[in-house]
């Protein structure tokens, strides 16, 4: 497996590109233990499985994150792999989390919490899938529009993992483009199920349509030609609206960002190094069953496919037009503009509070 040495120089100065209004709220907190007053132990949360876990475990084994933080004057007190990152962050029990701008927009008004997104990791990489040969297969229906029309016309069950999930807003934007309302009591016959169970339920004919991705237990089913996409968010969003909503970003509270700039810089520097390694290494990063479990896949062949698919390999089935895993951890102006456009769009649809921009900002660190 390819290994890369940690860069020795760490940049100290933050170049701020603030999008959104920073209104300082008394008593607003969002971090755990790290402060600028001598207590430098940080609590960091990372989603429990996925590309980011494979990457982070490598960074742990090479001591990249700990070395970068130590050079900046910090240390890791607790690194948690958990799906409860958002509630832990909202409760002030995590200093650095890896969340979507969408989650931060929802937290803003509800918790009166100002947050800062400083680094990028993955796009929202799910999509709408079916079995080959159904009336909802675009190749059978004649087009994506016809496939969606058939889903409505047949009132077929549409599996999702929950209305509060980050998978829903992109689906809502996409279905709006096809003329239908994807919402509770909307045009679709929606049924909730476990995200990792949805691929199998579609493959075995229990259901015909659902939201999923190759990383969520579907890799082997794709290779076995048991399921295929109707549309995939990274490709569809990139081609139709010019940006792709985020799924995972480096996220901190405003107070933490202002008081602990070097810790944020070290975290984004580390993500950037990890992303470079991930793209250089590809599916060779999966060496053991533990690596496969970390990714969230069931077979090594399926895991290798999910890895190459997410990294934008154009030689795999249903290749994405743009990589779901960013090649750099540093945000560009174009990235920020796209994320702001996405949040404005979902705010117009009532999916986040209209005042989200008072609480969420995107600020670049030095590259």
Three-state SS letters, 102-131: HHHHHHHHHHCCCEEEEEEEEECCCEEEEC
Tell me how far apart the alpha carbons of residues 29 and 38 are, in angstroms, rounded to a whole number. Answer: 18
Helix, strand or coil, per DSSP, at residue 338: helix
Within a 10 A sphere around the Cβ of 24, how many other Cβ atoms? 9
CA distance 36 to 98: 21
pLDDT band (50, 70, 90) for residue 264: very high
Q: Dihedral (C-alpha) 297, 302, 305, 310: value to the nearest 10 degrees?
A: -20
- pLDDT by residue (tens digit) across 357-367? 999 999 999 99
* Reported pTM: 0.86
3-state secondary structure of 319: coil
**Distance (Å, whole) CA 94 – CA 91:** 8
- What is d(CA 168, CA 256) in angstroms, rounded to the nearest whole number? 30
For the cut 50, the answer to whether the pLDDT of residue 171 exceeds it is yes
φ, ψ of residue 252 to 5 degrees: the values are: -140, 170
Rg (CA), the chain: 20
Q: Which of the four pLDDT bands, split at 50, 70 and 90, describes residue 64?
A: very high
Class of residue 288 by CB neighbours under 10 A (exposed 0-12, middle 13-18, buried 19+): exposed
Is residue 115 within 8 A of residue 251, CB to CB? The reply is yes
The candidate with the shortest Cα–Cα distance to 6, out of 62, 71, 53, is 62
Spell out where 180-314 has E strands: 189-192, 209-212, 228-232, 246-253
The answer to whether the CB of 220 falls within 8 A of the CB of 299 is: yes
Tracing tokens 């120089």 back to the chain, one arrives at 9
**Would you say 346 and 100 are in contact if contact means Cβ atoms under 8 Å apart?**
no
SS3 at position 360: strand
- Residue that is written with structure tokens 């009166």 in the block: 112
Q: Which pairing describes strands 75-81 and 41-46: parallel, antiparallel, or unpaired?
A: parallel
How far apart CA 248 and CA 335 sit, in angstroms, is 13
Partnered with residue 96 across adjacent β-strands are 44
Q: Return the pLDDT at 39.
A: 55
Q: What is the pLDDT of residues 279-338, one digit of tens each?
A: 999 999 999 999 999 999 989 999 999 999 999 999 999 999 999 999 999 999 999 999
The C-alpha atoms of residue 55 and residue 37 are separated, in whole angstroms, by: 31
pLDDT band at 236 (very low <50, low <70, confident <90, very high): very high
Report the pLDDT value the prediction gives residue 24, as an integer from 0 to 100: 22
Tens digit of pLDDT for each residue in 10-44?
222 222 233 232 222 222 233 454 444 455 899 99
């Amino acid at each position: 497996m390819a290994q890369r040495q940690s860069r020795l120089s760490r940049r100290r100065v933050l170049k701020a590109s603030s999008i959104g209004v920073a209104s300082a709220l008394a008593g607003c907190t969002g971090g755990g233990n790290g402060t600028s007053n001598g207590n430098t132990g940080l609590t960091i949360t990372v989603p429990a499985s996925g590309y980011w876990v494979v990457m982070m475990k490598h960074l742990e084994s090479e001591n990249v994150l700990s070395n970068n933080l130590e050079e900046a004057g910090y240390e890791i007190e607790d690194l948690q792999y958990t799906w409860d990152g958002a509630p832990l962050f909202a409760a002030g029990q995590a200093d650095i989390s890896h969340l979507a701008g969408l989650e931060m927009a929802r937290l803003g008004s509800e918790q009166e919490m100002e947050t800062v997104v400083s680094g990028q990791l993955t796009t929202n990489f799910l999509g709408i899938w079916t079995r080959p040969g159904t009336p909802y297969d675009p190749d059978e229906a004649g087009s994506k529009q016809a496939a969606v029309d058939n889903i409505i016309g047949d009132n077929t069950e549409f599996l999702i993992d929950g209305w509060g999930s980050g998978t829903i807003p992109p689906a809502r934007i996409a279905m709006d483009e096809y003329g239908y309302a994807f919402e509770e009591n909307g045009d679709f016959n929606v049924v909730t199920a476990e995200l990792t169970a949805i691929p199998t339920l579609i493959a075995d004919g229990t259901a015909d349509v659902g939201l999923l991705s190759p990383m969520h237990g579907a890799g082997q089913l794709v290779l076995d030609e048991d399921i295929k996409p109707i549309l995939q968010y990274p490709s569809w969003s990139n081609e139709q609206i010019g940006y792709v909503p985020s799924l995972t970003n480096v996220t901190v509270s405003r107070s933490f960002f202002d008081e602990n700039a070097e810790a944020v810089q070290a975290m984004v520097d580390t993500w950037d190094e990890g992303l470079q390694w991930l793209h250089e290494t590809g599916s060779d990063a999966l060496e053991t069953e533990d690596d496969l479990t970390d990714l969230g896949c069931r077979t090594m062949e399926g895991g290798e496919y999910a890895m190459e698919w997410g990294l934008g390999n154009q030689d795999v089935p249903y290749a994405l037009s743009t990589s779901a895993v960013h090649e750099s951890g540093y945000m560009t102006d174009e990235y920020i503009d796209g994320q702001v456009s996405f949040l404005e769009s979902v705010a117009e649809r009532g999916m986040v509070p209209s005042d989200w921009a008072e609480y969420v900002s995107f600020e670049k660190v030095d590259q």
